[in-house]
Chains A and B, each alone.
Chain A
Amino acid sequence: MQVFLNQLVVGLSIASILLLVALGLTFTFGQMNVINMAHGEFIMAGAYTTYVLQTALGTGLITLSFGLALPIAFLIAGTMGLILEFTIIRRLYGRPLDTLLATWGVSLMLQQLARDIFGAPNVDVTAPSFLDGGVTVAGVTLSHPRLFIIGAVTLVVVAVAVYLQRTPAGRRMRAVMQNRPLAAVSGVRTTRVDRTTFFIGSGLAGIAGVAITLLGPVGPTLGLGYIIDAFLVVIVGGLGQLRGAIFAALLLGMANSFIEYSTSTSIAKAAVFLLIVLFLQVRPQGMIVQQRRGLAS
């Protein structure tokens, strides 16, 4: 029972990280069909933002710099996304394989850029003191950073849901996703919507970057560790589906946690991949499918 509870919490915690890194991709990959391999580098940009702010503000203001890092990382990563969209991706819409190659090249360049600016070794990002330690409930230890990430991802998901459902901009975004030509003839400026979508999707990666400085390494190759998992969540969840991404992250997190406890990390990874392959055989469109109105698929 104790083990079960412990691993349940671990699963939840893995799921929250998966969801956080994948949220941005549900926009760019899910809605715009752009395979953005540089998404991981936007996460890295968020992590380095935290580091830069912390270094600039000094060790006395770590809580402040961490708090500031969240919105600033969103803006920085979002702006990087905008630049990428404007310079490269808008020329490649409808050619997912080309976006894959082009953004992969961008990803390598950004990694090398980070290496040139910050040096090849990892940098140390100190967690704010209120995130030190953890609480123990019923014999299960919940560390504060993990609780923070679960809280942060909940907030971000709610914010994204409200944006998509309740705001005019969100409705336009959904309209373009569901039927681009119809949205265009109804007066929606699709290029502007694309740009906004890319800004938000990339910005969310920046927020993820700030959060994962609490748990993992901050270095030039940080993004590589998360990019594959993020794509898995989006594909299993169903393209462009917020609910799907949540279910998929939970499923993958739990599967990872329980299989890993009873076997080993490498086997758990392989087993989870196998499960995904089997699942996609049965349901290639993912967990949740978009209802489309229109003749064109």
Chain B
Amino acid sequence: MIAGFAVAAIAVAGCGSSDSGGGDAGSGSTTSAEPGVSGKTIKVGVLHSLSGTMAISEVSVKDAETLAIEEINKSGGVLGKKLEPVVEDGASEPATFAEKAQKLISTDDVAAVFGGWTSASRKAMLPVFERNKALLYYPAQYEGLESSPYIFYSGATTNQQIIPGLEYLKDKVKVAKLYLVGSDYVFPRTANKEIKAWAKANGMQIVGEDYTPLGHTEYATQINKIKSVKPDAVFNTLNGDSNVAFFKQLKDAGIAPKDIPVMSVSVAEEEVRGIGAKNLAGHLVAWNYYQTTPGAKNKRFVAAYKKKFGSDRVTADPIEAGYVQVYLWAESVKKAGSTNPEKVKAAAKGLTFDAPEGTVTVDAENQHISKTARIGLIQGDGQIKEVGSSGKPVAPDPYLKSYPWAKGL
């Protein structure tokens, strides 16, 4: 664990210099010109935590990605060739992610890698993909302030998830005092820095800020603190198992959603199953997709996912993003007529795709995708009802350049 964080820290320190863009297309690339292509197949990498603490979330994303690969193969493949997934286990360790990414690129010669979840794993893989000029598709929502020329970000950045969540709290829930609870690593710390800057500019008071280690399961003290300062709402950036303990104990302490609603950004349908819907009903979440999102495309996706993996399974935002990003890559390759990363990147600019969440567009500059922001209310049956929406896709702004309050972050 410690070693993992050390690697992540080094990766963070290293990524500042690598944001300048990939101008020198093709030259000096360590990957082959048409990576992954051999005979009748194109190899692609799938790299998620199949063991360790993050397996809870990442296994389902891997499932969605293999489903997309299967569907693409059924409808004829890409460039007349079938996709062949090479699945690797990141084991919830950032260092392992970096190592396995290198292995997929150099040994398996994959055309692209779909993978990662925690920001620590992405930060660890980033230098590997930039060094090899290979492509990573990353499906999780994250804290923004990054834009690698070799990563496609198919999850939300801050202005597509956290800021709409805050605006909903301010306008609809009339929150004046906000309490921040998060896990102690890069995503919650960075997100809360942005939340505090937003709150300052919007007249919202932050009455408390608490971080607990990943995997922490004892929230009595935090709940006592919350009780004593009486916030109007809690903004929750806890990740993984901790959410189960936090919500169970919050309910047992007699704090109901009508007293203090909790807005979560890492709790989706998949997590609701493990936390128990009755512990969560009435709390809020901010995402870009729910299983209940209307549209024929989503209906098909949900049906296919349940058919392949079991009727008790649910789809959720990161699962959908994993599914979509495989298609985004495939469409870009078809358009480029090649798996060459530089050609794929060029073809991806402005590419649109009719996704289960609605039509998404790949941003020409930052390689994030436009997404509709949706605020959801958790229901007693574990599904999430949309109660607020941006109405149209929000353009990604990872560095929050269009927000005056974000200067100096």
Contact = CB atoms under 8 A, between A and B. Distances in A.
A106 to B, nearest CB: 15
B215 A133 contact: no
B274 A121 contact: yes
A220 to B, nearest CB: 7
B316 to A, nearest CB: 10
**Interface residue tally on A, bucketed by range:** 35 or more
Nearest to B224: A6
Q: Which one of A6, A125, A134, A214 has the greatest number of beta carbons of chain B within 10 Å? A: A6
Most buried by B among A6, A121, A134, A269: A121
A146 B252 contact: yes
A217 B274 contact: yes
A265 B241 contact: no
Contacts of B252: 132-134, 143-146
A257 B211 CA distance: 15
B232 interface: no
Interface string A205-228: 000000010111111111011000
Contacts of A7: 221, 224
B245 A218 contact: no
Given A13-B220, A261-B224, A218 B274 contact: yes
Contact of B225 (A127, A144, A261, A269): A261
A218 B218 CA distance: 14
A2 B225 CA distance: 12
Interface string B215-244: 111101110110010000000000001111
B274 A221 contact: no
A229 B299 CA distance: 46
Interface in A26-73: none
Given A120-B56, A122-B241, A219-B274, A265 B221 contact: yes
B170 interface: no
A53 B199 CA distance: 47
Contacts of A133: 252, 254
A111 interface: yes
Contact of A265 (B51, B53, B55, B210): B210
B333 interface: no
B274 A124 contact: yes
Given A133-B252, A264-B210, A219 B278 contact: no
Which of B222, B224, B243 is the most central at the interface, judged by chain A CB atoms within 10 Å of its CB? B224
19 contacts: A14-B220, A115-B55, A119-B59, A121-B56, A121-B273, A121-B274, A126-B278, A145-B248, A145-B252, A146-B220, A212-B217, A218-B274, A221-B52, A221-B53, A224-B215, A225-B216, A264-B210, A265-B212, A266-B184
